[in-house]
Chain A
């Protein structure tokens, strides 16, 4: 009994609504994370200024990632020095484009205040470097994702390897280095290429 015209307009209206819905959805959804991106992992982090952010929030910019803990007598100062030395090889303009994220193994003791104290003690530029903590389960997931083995020892300290990992703007691993205390030329090359103006980050 329904006139064909009415049917047509109803269908058109439906199609229009569907299109608008799709457009709205597309606008509100962030760009898809590639399947080989470490930003597939969602993990809640808190930085030295008690700001919370997600591990995947680095999406869009190259990032140098490592894991450490504040009360670490030997490896972690060496790790921080190695990252400094490595990024020191970059021209200043390229260095300014690099984010550095250090995630703590020590969910219990590395509060934002403890991270802040370390940043001040080591004169870390927190405009580009972020010291972050996560709860123990997320620390485990991040370390698994970065393939950094660690173990808490009976005295509360952590046994872990010193590792630097370079992610591209999409969160894919570009380079990895376990050379500590001196420059790793292959890693420096990867860093320079990733940050060179010829391949600007989107």
Chain B
């Protein structure tokens, strides 16, 4: 009797341990890297206003959120499963490339960035990770760093490298995470996917860039007529134009996200 009880206890303990290890494996702590405070001039700066803007320190996820991580999220938050998500939060093609609402399948490798996610879904994921989406400035500031320099944007070789990445056809299919880290240890900011940012919707606010033909459609408070200063930075401006064209419910095959956090 005593031996049986002991065995029973030991089995339970082992089962508990296994479950615990499995849970840890599924939810390995996401890696956030500190990005120090700086003065930063955005590619969005106007000719009239090109003085660096103070940008506080923050932490940025070292990798975009992967399919495996997003699968764990929808398992914990079933309202974000494909088929269950409300139509006002994601379009019809949300997570379309997954084999099933709770199964990744061959077209969605676990270590590939999750794509076909709406802004609302990305926002909800980051909140569940005690984080938030980065602002455009936070994303741009981290993405300005090469492996050795905090701001490589004026380096012709760096610009050429970026453009080479961006000119690869998207028909090649998505890569896996794990590119070379930049100065801050953040990876895959350029070569892998487009990424949602918190304030994607009005990055360029000059009427001519969003006007759909109706002269009454756009009127703005404040000085809205931006004239961009850094017109030669094609790689970044392409990204800005792409983000500005989106609505928060949209999903695309090349659009993923990563999260940011305040530093303690």
Residues in chain A within 8 A of chain B (CB atoms): 35-38, 40-41, 69, 72-76, 78, 137, 140-141, 143-145, 147, 149-151, 153-155, 157-162, 178-181
Contact = CB atoms under 8 A, between A and B. Distances in A.
Interface of B: 49, 53, 86-89, 119-120, 123, 132, 198-199, 201-203, 205, 210, 214, 216-224, 247-248
A180 B119 CA distance: 28
Contacts of A35: 86-88
Nearest to B248: A144
A153 B223 contact: yes
Max chain B C-beta neighbours (<10 A), residue from A35, A72, A161: A161
> For the complex, would chain B's binding face be called helix, strand, loop or mixed by DSSP majority?
loop
Contacts of B49: 154
Top 5 nearest A-B pairs (CB, nearest first) are: A144-B248, A157-B222, A149-B202, A151-B202, A149-B201
Contacts of B198: 140
A149 B210 contact: yes
Given A76-B221, A153-B222, A140 B199 contact: yes
Given A147-B248, A149-B210, A75 B219 contact: yes
A180 B199 contact: no
7 contacts: A40-B86, A40-B88, A144-B120, A150-B201, A151-B205, A159-B222, A178-B217
B221 A74 contact: yes
Contacts of B224: 159
A34 to B, nearest CB: 9
B123 A141 contact: yes
Given A140-B123, A181-B216, 10 more contacts: A35-B88, A75-B221, A140-B198, A140-B199, A143-B201, A157-B223, A159-B205, A161-B217, A161-B218, A178-B218
B87 A160 contact: no
Contacts of B202: 149-151, 159-160
Given A145-B248, A178-B214, A162 B89 contact: no
A143 B223 CA distance: 20
A40 B248 contact: no
